[in-house]
Structure 1
């Protein structure tokens, strides 16, 4: 007897199979037939849920950005983690250049960064710029209550920080050598401390997130 599954369940099965195959073989190296075979469905069933392989990737990107924001929100809500460490962990959770165990995240980001997918890249940036400042703002308000920060504009400060970081530290937007990146990180942290009214040097642990060193290593 043929098994009939709910639309959402079947859709997720297709996405899960495609995500695994893209991670193993790459987007261009994966055929629609391979996705069909892995899920065990007819072509008509696939096209009922997705118009094309590109449409599947778009859905994976949407799901990926939701996961990023949800992961950041979980970290932000964990008050057992110190304020500064939480800020660092939230930003690390939003490192969309990383890769998971089967390489699917890396494949998703490589697909997004292709010139023909500039609109999709812009879409992810928009999600981050609109979603992340509010997540970070809650942490900043805790820091204000604890006397670590002093600013009447916590959300606006985080919006500035996210927009700068999401632009300058995006390799597609600004090409930099390791030395140039290191100097920008130092300047970034220096200015964030002043935006937040934090003590000089109090946020320099952020350097660890970028794998940077101290100022002397950049001279």
Structure 2
């Protein structure tokens, strides 16, 4: 008798198989039939859970996003740190290396996974900007800094930071990457109208 699995269990099984195949073969080369064989299900079962391969990608991207958002939201609830520290901790929470293995991240950067990569960046900017706004508003309320356009500035900053520091897009040596990071921090300081070098020391402390 065929075993009926719980909805979420089967859905996650499909996602796990698809993620493995996307990273191994690349999104473009992987077919729905490949996923069916990997999981051992019929096409009708696949379409019960997902309408298309792209919908599977969206669900996988949501996994990455949820890791970052969950960590950032926990930081928002911390009361005994300054807005400056909270801001740096939220940025640190976005470092996927601590939750996703290096092989997975390297595969994400492959040309054949461009859509998966693009969607991940898009979702992280969309989800994280409002969280950063809460930190910015806390700093404004405590008169730590000023900011005319919190949401728009955070969207611009995230899009620039995630793109320019992404090794899958720009191949920079260590010195060039540090200069980009220094420039991004300088831009953040101008956005929040704080003195120059206000964030550099905090940033370096949060790298470890």
Q: Which bracket does the TM-score occupy, shorter chain normalised? A: 0.7 to 0.9
2:126 to 123, 130, 135: 130
Deviation for aligned residue 1:55 = 7.3
Given the two structures, how large is their TM-score scaled by the length of structure 1? 0.72
Q: What SS does the corresponding residue of 2:144 show, helix, strand or coil?
A: coil
Give the Cα–Cα distance (whole angstroms) in 1 for the partners of residues 90 and 103 of structure 2: 19
Aligned residue in 2 for 1:27: 24
2:162 to 163, 166, 169: 166
1:142 to 126, 138, 151: 138
Aligned residue in 1 for 2:61: 61
Change (3 A) 1:210 1:171: farther
Change (3 A) 1:44 1:128: closer
1:195 aligned to 2:191? yes
Give the Cα–Cα distance (whole angstroms) in 2 for the partners of residues 27 and 58 of structure 1: 18
Aligned residue in 2 for 1:178: 174
Deviation for aligned residue 1:141 = 0.9
Change (3 A) 1:27 1:81: farther
Give the Cα–Cα distance (whole angstroms) in 2 for the partners of residues 155 and 76 of structure 1: 16
1:119 aligned to 2:79? no
Deviation for aligned residue 1:65 = 1.8
8 Å contact from structure 1 (residues 186, 207) kept in 2: no
Deviation for aligned residue 1:138 = 0.6
Aligned CA RMSD, in angstroms, stands at: 3.3
Deviations 1:97-128 (A, max 9, x none): x1537x3x741x33331112212221112112
1:74 aligned to 2:74? yes
Aligned residue in 2 for 1:152: 148
Aligned residue in 2 for 1:207: 204
